[in-house]
Amino acid sequence: MSFEYLTNIPLEQAKKDYLALLRENGFGPQTETVAVQHAYGRVTSRAVYANINAPHYAASAMDGIALHARDSFGATETTPVTLREDQYVVVDTGDPVPEGCDAVIMVEELVKNDDGSVTIHAAAAPWQHIRQIGEDICAGEMILPGYTEITPAAIGAMIAGGVTELEVIRRPVVAIIPTGDEIIPPCADPKPGEILEFNSSIFSAMLSDWGAVPKTYPIVPDRFDEIRAVLRQAADECDMVILNAGSSAGRDDYSTASIRDVGQVLYHGIAIKPGKPAILGCRGPKPILGVPGYPVSGIIVIEELLRPLIELWLGRESESRSRTRAILTRPVVSGLKYQEYVRVRMGYVGDRLTASPLPRGSGVVSSFMKADGIVEVPQGTEGFQSGEEVRVRLLNAKKKLKNTLVVIGSHDPLLDELSDLIHTTNHSMYVSSAHVGSMGGIMAIRRGEAHAAGIHLLDTETGIYNRSYIRKYFPHGGVYLVRCVGRQQGLMLQKGNPLGIQGFSDIAREGVRYVNRQKGSGTRILMDYLCGKHGIRPEQIYGYEREEMTHNSVAVQIASGSADAGMGIYSTARLYDLDFIPVCVEEYDLLIPETAWSSPMVRQLIETLKSPAFAARITAMGGYTLDQPGEIIDLV
Amino acid sequence: MSFEYLTNIPLEQAKKDYLALLRENGFGPQTETVAVQHAYGRVTSRAVYANINAPHYAASAMDGIALHARDSFGATETTPVTLREDQYVVVDTGDPVPEGCDAVIMVEELVKNDDGSVTIHAAAAPWQHIRQIGEDICAGEMILPGYTEITPAAIGAMIAGGVTELEVIRRPVVAIIPTGDEIIPPCADPKPGEILEFNSSIFSAMLSDWGAVPKTYPIVPDRFDEIRAVLRQAADECDMVILNAGSSAGRDDYSTASIRDVGQVLYHGIAIKPGKPAILGCRGPKPILGVPGYPVSGIIVIEELLRPLIELWLGRESESRSRTRAILTRPVVSGLKYQEYVRVRMGYVGDRLTASPLPRGSGVVSSFMKADGIVEVPQGTEGFQSGEEVRVRLLNAKKKLKNTLVVIGSHDPLLDELSDLIHTTNHSMYVSSAHVGSMGGIMAIRRGEAHAAGIHLLDTETGIYNRSYIRKYFPHGGVYLVRCVGRQQGLMLQKGNPLGIQGFSDIAREGVRYVNRQKGSGTRILMDYLCGKHGIRPEQIYGYEREEMTHNSVAVQIASGSADAGMGIYSTARLYDLDFIPVCVEEYDLLIPETAWSSPMVRQLIETLKSPAFAARITAMGGYTLDQPGEIIDLV
């Protein structure tokens, strides 16, 4: 186990020094010549001038006859003029104006005579209905300045100006080298210890989006000589290199050594989180970036360090993501040592834009997928408080956020089905759901952060669900409780029930490993209620402290063998092919603030709840009962 | 000459009926399966669920040792615990947690002993530093709903979830069939009567941008049987068809007949301008759109009629271009009969956003390239007045408009060079210039529409340029006059001077065809001054009424042989290889409002005027003198 010193350079300093070093080494764009038809979206490397006039000949702008204007002089309604056959030429739109002619009369204004002559009732002005040479573009004129992105119309203008090819900025080719003994290509059945290689696919998509050309190399095992050889090859073949993984200070770290071997290392370690083990290296003018293996770290490192280089190369204006201000729904605590990037889910409820921090684990790629924005906590700052207004870098358009139904509360897989049904029916409407338990849902509604919350809270004194909680937490009203489903709760057990668990009280038996739900979830409240009822104390249950956030993740621990039992719903047990002991049927309802009631998103939600499509999906999942979903429940 | 009746259906009606017909015929998206690595930017056709958990095994989240947590209980700073070699397993980040272990201690917190044991000074909590199975994604969970555009992070999440391929909406293939006897492929030397085919390149770029796959067929001559054969083939091979040109009611119109032959025609003629001769046809569920040959008409027709179909197919939210309000700088007159699309150039001068109508000819592709927005004049409206606030559909981002230096006034090719220098130096700064003559420039500055105006106005009483005009039109000041160049004005003549023109007065000679500049231009004022000085009356000059808007377009008429002489500057005469008789050197200065003086755009302009790069370009063009460009001229 060897350790290497990591620097902790502030991001801006690192970027500045890196760029200065690369520039000193000759970093910069290169050009190539492309056919004008293939130039869409490319960037001119220098001004483009027209080679010819457009139109390049004097052309008739109408269907009709060309003539010498002088021959028509004097023609009026009362004194028509007749032109002999040799005094005019029939022309169509676009035809060259014949020699000796300087005007066109439209076919609609002619009377054709049997002898081939035509009669006109108005004089033609010289050059009327003629497109002059160069009316659109004059030869020698600048069509586009340098460093200009080529639009569809610009392609038309260039072709019209006789430009057949032009010089554009070559797209930089960026090598992506995945490394690691444990890394394998994407598949559906990895073995324990094997890690699916998806970073290169994520990076490729990002690079394409930024205008670069990604080139992914085969996975390289953790061997210094092999990494070095591929790195050398990639630095020869490409303009920039991403060396992925192996940039933390673990025992298999050959990245720094191999970059140093083929070029130089400026910094190893920058003051950002996630992303701190990044390596800023180069070979001459070619940047070589050592990128951490965790996907979120990698995404942030290439976004912060590689994207500006690509934009500089392409001469593109740095596309600073648009920013907005939003209210934090939970505190964000950050170390003083790093600039931290916190992904947030955002929601517009009424006019209030909120930002809710997502899980910060750098391995959690799904949280990046769900993120609507990023809050940057500057180095030297301890974070932000709940309710504080913060600046957010937007990952999604505000318009999308405004059309998103925000559901925060208890987890149920039916929420995903609702989301799919709503978005499939109305492509411009989105659903964002966060699983924070029933009590979390009530709090989210109280704070004005959600349009709806799924709740299933048992009043242990009355045995009635939800109503008493609403009276307690919303004493002045202001919310609707909407019927959703009845659902079967119970004990999920390993397939075949190898431990022979017969009922709830068996979870306290010796040798039974339980997996619990988090505090504040309806299922936890039910669990604690049942414990009390059966006279079971928490310390009697092995695993009582082991908390998972969703039915699914409880089921997964049981299915994978690290736990024997957990409370959950039937549909989840069925999805994971687990045994199931029914305990009770509970009311899973939706809590909706009155202020959001008439919003289009809530309207769509209610409509979907009432739809046969929803009933069909719910029925197929199993373990649910439907009794007038979408109807308002009387709270008194 | 045959005529066919054209309908004049309002656009919205036409769109509605067209869509209804297509839907009735079965129009709709189709799906295909793609590998997840190639799914970036595609749209899911149905929800995607995870096949496996991510992580799919319990993994160490740190480099260190795995152990049974129980073995560490009791360890503190003062009561360390030593673990025998058989009580722990060395693990790296990502390694599976070995059988029997349920916690990881980081390598930094270990003391290694010589006998292979390790000593720890803190107890491990069960499951610490272990990534639980499914922490990121649980098998069976919905990763993406249907009809969702796939982001880079979504690709990562799908691969992590064991998804290797997925069903997406197939991109519709759109045939583009260019027709016309006079149409030829792009080249640099078309002959008179030949028209360069650029519509298919413009349309291809637009279609790609909208997510469709363009397929361009070879140019088809104006023959019914050939058009019909290609149309039939395209309708078989593709999902949608654009039949370009031949959709006006001219004598070569086989479009309607051939569409009718392979399918049906719903409407021929819609109430928009440009674009009215559009044909809305189909073959079963496949739209066949007859698109006018003029590029601007074609662009508008496919934007209004085909784009919504593509968006519908792709399940994309209709990307209505963002709109804004702007002040019209000139009136827009429109017929009652059509909905008219007027391209406008836009400018932010101070906080005022202005929209200036561009030439409306539907053949002028350069005007589409220069357009920043489109003003729609609804059917039944006569247009808008100058100074009226109108809604504009933006073609460029507001941010770009805010960074654009607006130059309106006298034409000089040096403005293009300035534009190139400014944008090449500072990629985020743009220059937009409109040529409306010196007096037009003064008026634009007075109305607050421009940051700068090029002017060269001779005071015929004093022989001094510009100053007296400024005193007259800006009696209360508020503007700076900035030195730009001295430039050589003169008579541009055909190469070799075949008519033997010796001096200015020869333009009134019998047989000399003159081409003039527009009223209000500095060159026209100079011309009229010289006529007075030489005692020449306008009616003595053949072509006095023939007006062009730029030096270049005057030169083009002479170079192409339709005129013999015109006034212009030396650099233009040289560009077009014309003979030149010097007449005078004039001051071409820039007028800049005080309010814009400190804006970054004007600062960059002044800096560029003073730069050696500008001097080098100007010198290379010839005919200019430089005397402290960028300095303010004393007006008193």
Nearest CA in chain B to A205: B152
Rounded Cα distance, A90 and B95, in Å: 84
Angle at A379 between CA A376 and CA A380, to 5 degrees: 125
Q: Give B13-24 pLDDT, tens digit per residue.
A: 999 999 999 999
Average the pLDDT over each of A244-253, A328-337, A483-492 and give the range with the smallest value: A244-253
CATH of domain A31-54+136-169: 3.90.105.10
Is the pLDDT at A247 greater than 70? The verdict is no
CB A56 within 8 A of CB B192: yes
Q: Give B491-517 pLDDT, tens digit per residue.
A: 999 999 999 999 999 999 998 999 999
pLDDT at residue number B2: 36
Top-level CATH class of B430-625? alpha beta
pLDDT at residue number B293: 86
Is the pLDDT at B4 greater than 70? The verdict is no
pTM over 0.90? The answer is no
Q: Give B273-299 pLDDT, tens digit per residue.
A: 999 889 999 999 999 999 988 888 999
**Which residues from chain B sit within 8 angstroms of residue A198, using beta carbons?**
155-156, 159-160
Tell me the Ramachandran region of residue A302: left when phi exceeds 0, alpha when psi lies from -120 to 50, beta otherwise: alpha
Can the peptide bond before residue A359 be classed as cis, meaning omega within 30 degrees of 0?
no
**Which residues from chain A sit within 8 angstroms of residue B58, using beta carbons?**
560, 562
Cβ distance of A53 and B93 shorter than 8 Å: no
Shortest Cα distance, chain B CAs vs residue A159, angstroms: 6
pLDDT band of B1, cuts 50, 70, 90: very low
Question: If you average pLDDT over each of A1-10, B70-79, B602-611, which comes out highest?
Answer: B602-611
Q: Give A33-67 pLDDT, tens digit per residue.
A: 999 999 999 999 999 999 999 999 998 988 899 99
> 3-state DSSP: chain B helix, strand, coil percent, rounded to 5?
30, 30, 40
Average pLDDT over chain B, rounded to an integer: 92
pLDDT band of A362, cuts 50, 70, 90: low
Shortest Cα distance, chain A CAs vs residue B352, angstroms: 23
Nearest CA in chain B to A40: B205
* % of chain B at pLDDT higher than 90: 78
Q: Where are the domains of chain A?
A: 11-28+172-314, 31-54+136-169, 59-131, 323-402, 430-625
pLDDT band of B127, cuts 50, 70, 90: confident
DSSP B205-223: HHHHHHT-EEEEPPPB-S-
Rounded Cα distance, A73 and A71, in Å: 6
pLDDT at residue number B536: 96
pLDDT band of A368, cuts 50, 70, 90: confident
Cβ distance of A142 and B193 shorter than 8 Å: no
Average pLDDT over residues B66-79: 91
**Which residues from chain B sit within 8 angstroms of residue A295, using beta carbons?**
153, 156
pLDDT band of B102, cuts 50, 70, 90: confident
Angle between helices A224-237 and A255-262 (to 10 degrees): 50
Q: What is the ipTM of this complex?
A: 0.90
Detail the DSSP E strand segments found in A170-257.
173-178, 183-184, 195-196, 213-216, 240-244
Q: Give B320-365 pLDDT, tens digit per residue.
A: 668 899 999 889 998 889 999 999 999 999 888 999 898 777 667 8
pLDDT at residue number A2: 37
CB A412 within 8 A of CB A487: yes
pLDDT at residue number B246: 60
Nearest CA in chain B to A575: B140
B267 forms beta bridges with B280
Is the pLDDT at B251 greater than 50? The verdict is no
CB A484 within 8 A of CB A631: no
Average pLDDT over residues B224-244: 96
pLDDT at residue number B193: 86
Q: Give B545-576 pLDDT, tens digit per residue.
A: 889 989 999 999 999 988 999 999 999 999 99
Q: What is the SS3 assignment for B510?
A: coil
Select the residue of B160, B206, B546 nearest A198 (Cβ to Cβ). B160
**Which residues from chain B sit within 8 angstroms of residue A66, using beta carbons?**
none
Determine the residue among A159, A194, A419, A548 to mutate to test chain B binding: the one whose Cβ has the most chain B Cβ atoms within 10 Å.
A159
**What tokens does B36 get?**
């997840």
Tell me the Ramachandran region of residue B537: left when phi exceeds 0, alpha when psi lies from -120 to 50, beta otherwise: beta
**What tokens does A321 get?**
């993501």
Nearest CA in chain B to A131: B363
Is the pLDDT at A319 greater than 80? The verdict is no
B293 forms beta bridges with none
For the domain made up of B59-131, give the CATH fold: Molybdopterin biosynthesis moeA protein; domain 3 (2.170.190)
Average pLDDT over chain A, rounded to an integer: 92
**What tokens does B532 get?**
């007075």
pLDDT band of B3, cuts 50, 70, 90: very low
**Which residues from chain B sit within 8 angstroms of residue A40, using beta carbons?**
204-205, 208-209
Question: If you average pLDDT over each of A84-93, A167-176, A555-564, B217-226, which comes out highest?
Answer: A167-176
Select the residue of B61, B156, B163 nearest A365 (Cβ to Cβ). B156
Q: DSSP state, A631?
A: P
Cβ distance of B159 and A548 shorter than 8 Å: no
Angle at A160 between CA A158 and CA A161, to 5 degrees: 60
Detail the DSSP E strand segments found in B231-367.
240-244, 264-268, 272-273, 279-283, 286-291, 323-328, 332-333, 339-349, 352-357
**What is the maximal distance between C-alpha atoms in chain A?**
117
Cβ distance of B202 and A155 shorter than 8 Å: yes
**What tokens does A530 get?**
């049942």
Average pLDDT over residues B34-48: 96
**Which residues from chain A sit within 8 angstroms of residue B192, using beta carbons?**
56-57, 96
Q: Give B513-543 pLDDT, tens digit per residue.
A: 999 999 989 999 999 999 999 999 998 998 8
Residue B289 φ then ψ, to 5°: -110, 120
Select the residue of B107, B155, B250 nearest A201 (Cβ to Cβ). B155
Is the pLDDT at A238 greater than 60? The verdict is yes
pLDDT at residue number B318: 65
pLDDT at residue number A398: 87
Shortest Cα distance, chain A CAs vs residue B67, angstroms: 15
Which superfamily does CATH assign the domain made up of A323-402 to? Answer: MoeA, C-terminal, domain IV (2.40.340.10)
pLDDT at residue number A397: 86
Q: What is the SS3 assignment for A434?
A: strand
**What tokens does A101 get?**
């002619």
Select the residue of B36, B145, B153 nearest A365 (Cβ to Cβ). B153
pLDDT at residue number A251: 43
Average pLDDT over residues A595-610: 96
Cβ distance of A139 and B195 shorter than 8 Å: no
Nearest CA in chain B to A415: B142
Rounded Cα distance, A153 and B198, in Å: 9
Nearest CA in chain A to B51: A188
Rounded Cα distance, A479 and A450, in Å: 12
Is the pLDDT at B212 greater than 50? The verdict is yes
Q: Give A625-635 pLDDT, tens digit per residue.
A: 999 999 999 98
Specify whether domain B11-28+172-314 bears CATH 3.40.980.10: yes
Q: Parallel, antiparallel, or unpaired: how do β-strands A279-283 and A264-268 relate?
A: antiparallel
CATH of domain B323-397: 2.40.340.10
Is the pLDDT at A374 greater than 70? The verdict is yes
- Closest to A469 measured CA to CA, from A520, A519, A405: A520
pLDDT at residue number B134: 92
Average pLDDT over residues A444-452: 93
For the domain made up of B31-55+135-169, give the CATH fold: Molybdopterin biosynthesis moea protein, domain 2 (3.90.105)
Cβ distance of A190 and B52 shorter than 8 Å: yes
Rounded Cα distance, B300 and A582, in Å: 63
**Which residues from chain A sit within 8 angstroms of residue B311, using beta carbons?**
none
Burial status of residue B489 (CB atoms within 10 A of its CB: 0-12, 13-18, 19 or more): buried
Average pLDDT over residues A477-502: 96
CB atoms inside a 10 Å sphere around CB A29: 17
* % of chain A at pLDDT higher than 70: 97
Query: How many CB pairs below 8 Å do chains A and B form together?
Result: 334
CA–CA distance from B380 to each of A74, B330, B337, B343, B485 (Å)? 36, 20, 6, 19, 49
Rounded Cα distance, A448 and A400, in Å: 19
Is the pLDDT at A562 greater than 50? The verdict is yes
Detail the DSSP E strand segments found in A294-448.
323-328, 332-333, 339-349, 352-357, 373-377, 383-384, 389-394, 404-409, 430-435
